Amino acid sequence: MKTVRVVAAIIKNNGKIFATQRGYGEFKDGWEFPGGKIEVGETPQEALVREIREELDAEIAVGELLDTVEYDYPAFHLSMDCFWCEVVSGNLVLKEHEAARWLGKDELGSVEWLPADLGLVEKIEAEL
Ligand SMILES: Nc1nc2c([nH]c(=O)n2[C@H]2C[C@H](O)[C@@H](COP(=O)(O)OP(=O)(O)OP(=O)(O)O)O2)c(=O)[nH]1
Ligand SMILES: [Mg+2]
């Protein structure tokens, strides 16, 4: 099976996490952490800065790696590095997503996360 290497931003502010709802494609309407596929020649951190510019029109500071999610979808293996991040500038404009919410510790279970994200969400909950 092919492996898809992805980076995701766990954007935190005031104890809340920024969750986004996918606006197109196979996983449309599923909730995720913004980010995307690492391109050839990029470090994971560089890819994440680029993806957040593209998807949210914002500049972030990439902090520590929280987890690397390994998950088998029917059509591919997902390997996703998930970093704690903070917004440095910009207003988080939804360029590709259909919705977004800031979720506190007790609200993390209130959206329909993509299947690969469930373990990660528990880990975030434990650390918030
Ligand atoms: N960004 C992101 N992708 C996730 C998460 N969970 C999860 O299973 N995925 C999957 C969905 C996609 O198959 C893949 C990442 O794709 P993506 O659609 O964000 O990639 P991208 O931004 O580069 O978009 P595209 O140009 O390929 O359409 O990882 C998550 O929390 N965040
Ligand atoms: Mg994306």
Q: What is the dihedral of CA 103, 109, 113, 117, to 10 degrees?
A: 90
Question: What ipTM did this prediction achieve?
Answer: 0.96
pLDDT at position 40 is: 97
pLDDT at position 110 is: 97
Which CATH number does the domain housing residue 102 bear? Answer: 3.90.79.10
Q: Cα(34)–Cα(23) distance, rounded to whole angstroms?
A: 12
pLDDT at position 30 is: 98
Nearest CA to 79 out of 1, 3, 10 is that of: 3
| Per-residue pLDDT reduced to its tens digit, 46-78 | 999 999 999 999 999 999 999 999 999 999 999
C-alpha pair distances (Å), 77 with each of 2, 3, 109: 6, 5, 24
82 within ligand 1 shell (Cβ under 6 A): no
- How many structural domains is the chain composed of? 1
Domain that holds residue 95: 3-127
Distance 92 CA to ligand 2 centre (A): 14
Sites in the chain below the pLDDT cut of 70: none
pTM for the whole structure: 0.96
Q: Cα(31)–Cα(112) distance, rounded to whole angstroms?
A: 6
